[in-house]
Amino acid sequence: MRARAPGKIFNGRIRGSAPKRHGKTEETVERRHEEARRRGVRLFFTGVGGQGTLVATRLVGEAALAEGLSASMSEIHGMAQRGGVVESSVVVGDIRAPIVAEAQADVLVAFEPLEALRALNRCHAQTKAVVSTSPIVPFTVAAGQGTYPNLDDVLRELKDKLAAVVALDAEALAREAGSVRAANMVVMGAVAAMDVLPIAKATWDACLRKLFPPKLYDLNQRAFDAGFAHARP
């Protein structure tokens, strides 16, 4: 990765540099919005306690609302600090239930590869996935109860079943951006770049600014942009 000026990596640059995907007219954006409203988009998030799954979920919800789409999200709290699985979901558009059932996820956002695999039953053949490849080995493995699957096998299984899989080393990209703690925003940058949601880059950026206190904003925006750049073809 090249070092970039903090905070303004893509701001103002996107439209010019990637006209095919981003130089869309207002009409096209309108149509995408309409399509999302009509059809709805369901996103399923999975990760391990402490990875910032809920903040990431919130970002999608806020960004969708800022785009004038309806959105609701669902979280499961409680065990987050104790190393358990944290699952959440966002539904965008004309869907009323906030949860994602089996075979309902249009987008899988996995902050940990093993958990991506465990969420396979939420996915369908058209599901697009973003998967962070940095493993967090559960203590059950350390205690000899099971083995952690081979990362290549995990990704092969996901790619075999799903329509698209963006796999990225979110922790490494976050470290480059300033702190491994922003890995969740690297993943979200990749989600934004996948074009699965009718949300403009500027809207994502505005919501990042709203969601993070000023002290943490720059770091998280850098991380988001790193993920965004990574997932752009």
| Residue count, binding to another protein (CB under 8 A) | 56
Min separation Cβ 100 and another protein, Å: 8
Q: In the complex with another protein, which residue's Cβ is closer, 77 or 209?
A: 77
Task: Pick the closer one to another protein by CB: 19 or 68.
Answer: 68
Paired sense of beta strands 41-48 and 71-75, if any: unpaired
Residue 65 binds another protein, judged by CB under 8 A: yes
CB 44, CB 89: distance < 8 Å: yes
Q: DSSP label at 122?
A: G
CA separation, residue 201 to residues 47, 88, 175, 197 (Å): 24, 23, 22, 11
Nearer to another protein among residue 18 and residue 211 (C-beta):
211
Q: Is 102 in the site for another protein (CB under 8 A)?
A: yes
Q: Return the residue matching tokens 């995990």.
A: 154
Sequence-ordered alpha helix ranges (H) in the chain: 14-17, 19-22, 26-39, 53-66, 113-118, 139-142, 151-161, 170-177, 183-193, 201-211, 214-231
Which C-beta is closer to another protein: that of 13 or that of 156? 156
Contact string (CB under 8 A) for another protein, positions 4-43, x = contact: ----------------------------------------
Where on the chain is the footprint of another protein (CB under 8 A)?
Answer: 48-49, 58, 61-62, 65, 70-79, 81-85, 94-99, 101-104, 114-115, 117-121, 123-125, 137-149, 157, 161
